[in-house]
């Protein structure tokens, strides 16, 4: 659980912090008077209420020199604690803050959404440092589940499924979900999440980010629901710069840092997908309710079976389900040899959510498509699966 220690006498700033954390992040907030910035680090941390402190957030009303001194001392004695100071940034302050070990500088006028992104990144840094130090009592997450959203055919709604799954999982594991756009030529994750990313996957597989998970995390974007995203290249030509080995290494990096890694893959069985499958724990097969989609899925399963690359976790999703299509779920199950685990009916709300850049599970729409997507999310929630007492595979019905 993230713990935020706020040093300030400004009650308005405290309210902004609580608005940033509340409902979107796991963890509690403890405020101390601004004068506490002059306490020795060990004494300061003992006043946080007993829980491990992830972030010390220094308010805009606190003496800047004292804040930099505190950051230096914490960086030396407690490097797993991230320090964030609130001040109007300038080149001199940035340089001094970097030397003092400050994790980030918050704008005094930042709104709760902007502050939340900054705090989330600081928490991830704190947890990553604890993992590197080998402190299992303070970082209990092992290798995450890697979920590949797959289909040999395009136009079956993979990105819609992937982004909604990521949003749903973020409610189960706040700050623990990252989605990666592996459609390297024409990926739409950024559009589906209404993101304008500063960095893309092209940046993440080269240079320092490929060697250091802390740098890699700085390249991630985050949407309003708390999902981290590594978006696709800016131009299709950039896809040629990325090799399958780099994709495998990237997925392994992210799986070590996040509870869930959702991969929105490209159509077909390209080399990048095959590299990702070597790291994949669960495959979500997306199939349309039409003969070409079913045949394509059959061929893909056959090829991957020969290559021994079918992940152990297997989930079949029937998208755009409509009983008037001429095919039944039983027909599809008989053809592919697997049961359908979730059927998502055609819904007018889906294209509307796509055009808005707000996934259905992040909106307030309640219809058959929402229920189908929620059922898919529950398949990856261990607590929900145990509580239901039901088997993994049950016969679906299209209404």
Cα separation, 374 vs 386, whole angstroms: 16
Q: What is the pLDDT of residues 117-155, one digit of tens each?
A: 888 778 777 776 666 555 444 444 457 899 999 988 888
Cα separation, 373 vs 140, whole angstroms: 28
* Domain C-terminal end among 79, 97, 132: 132
What number of residues does the chain have?
Answer: 399
Q: What is the pLDDT of residues 27-74, one digit of tens each?
A: 788 899 999 999 988 888 887 765 678 899 999 999 999 999 999 998
Same domain, 331 and 248: yes
132-136, 260-264, 265-269, 362-366: least confidently modelled range: 132-136
Same domain, 228 and 110: no
Per-residue tokens: 206: 């080269």
> Would 261 be classed as within a structural domain?
yes
Structural domain boundaries enclosing 350:
145-388
Entry pTM: 0.66
Confidence of residue 385 (pLDDT cuts 50, 70, 90): low
Same domain, 42 and 111: yes
Same domain, 155 and 114: no
Same domain, 80 and 155: no
Whole-number average pLDDT of the chain: 83
Per-residue tokens: 163: 């982004």
pLDDT value for 179: 94
Cα separation, 51 vs 88, whole angstroms: 30
pLDDT value for 148: 94
* Domain C-terminal end among 132, 165, 198: 132
* Domain C-terminal end among 86, 108, 132: 132
Q: What is the pLDDT of residues 176-202, one digit of tens each?
A: 899 999 998 888 899 898 888 888 898
pLDDT value for 143: 78
| CATH number where 266 lies | 3.40.50.300
The CA-atom distances, in angstroms, between 193 and each of 30, 250, 321, 363 are: 32, 21, 24, 12
pLDDT value for 225: 83
Same domain, 122 and 267: no
> Would 110 be classed as within a structural domain?
yes
């Amino acid at each position: 659980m993230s713990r935020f220690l706020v040093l300030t006498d400004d009650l308005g700033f405290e309210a902004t912090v609580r608005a940033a954390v509340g409902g979107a992040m796991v963890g509690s907030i403890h405020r101390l008077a601004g004068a506490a910035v002059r306490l020795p680090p060990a004494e300061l941390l003992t006043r946080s209420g007993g829980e491990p402190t992830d972030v010390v957030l220094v308010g805009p009303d606190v003496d800047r020199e004292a804040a930099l001194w505190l950051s230096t001392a914490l960086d030396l004695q407690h490097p797993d604690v991230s320090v964030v100071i609130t001040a109007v940034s300038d080149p001199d302050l940035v340089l001094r803050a970097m030397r003092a070990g400050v994790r980030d500088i918050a704008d005094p006028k930042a709104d709760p959404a902007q502050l939340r992104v900054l705090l989330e990144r600081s928490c991830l840094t704190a947890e990553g440092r604890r993992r590197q130090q080998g402190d299992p009592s303070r970082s209990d997450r092992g290798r995450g589940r890697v979920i590949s959203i797959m289909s040999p055919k395009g136009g079956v709604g993979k990105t819609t499924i992937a982004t909604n799954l990521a949003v749903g999982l973020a409610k189960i594991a706040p700050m623990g979900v990252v989605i990666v756009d592996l459609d390297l030529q024409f990926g739409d994750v950024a559009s589906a999440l209404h993101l304008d990313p500063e960095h893309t996957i092209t940046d993440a597989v080269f240079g320092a980010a490929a060697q250091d998970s802390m740098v890699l995390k700085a390249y991630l974007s985050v949407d309003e629901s708390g999902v981290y995203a590594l978006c696709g290249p800016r131009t299709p030509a950039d896809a040629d710069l990325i090799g399958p080995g780099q994709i495998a290494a990237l997925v392994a990096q992210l799986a070590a840092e996040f509870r869930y890694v959702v991969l929105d893959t490209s159509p077909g069985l390209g080399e990048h997908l095959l590299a990702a499958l070597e790291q994949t724990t669960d495959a979500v097969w997306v199939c349309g309710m039409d003969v070409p989609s079913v045949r394509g899925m059959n061929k893909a399963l056959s090829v991957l079976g020969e290559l021994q690359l079918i992940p152990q976790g297997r989930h079949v999703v029937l998208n755009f389900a409509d009983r008037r299509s001429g095919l039944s779920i039983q027909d599809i199950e008989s053809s592919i040899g697997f049961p359908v685990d979730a059927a998502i009916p055609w819904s007018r709300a889906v294209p509307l959510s796509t055009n808005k850049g707000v996934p259905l599970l992040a909106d307030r729409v309640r219809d058959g498509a929402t229920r189908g997507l929620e059922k898919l999310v529950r398949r990856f929630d261990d607590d929900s699966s145990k509580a239901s007492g039901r088997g993994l595979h049950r016969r679906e019905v299209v209404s």
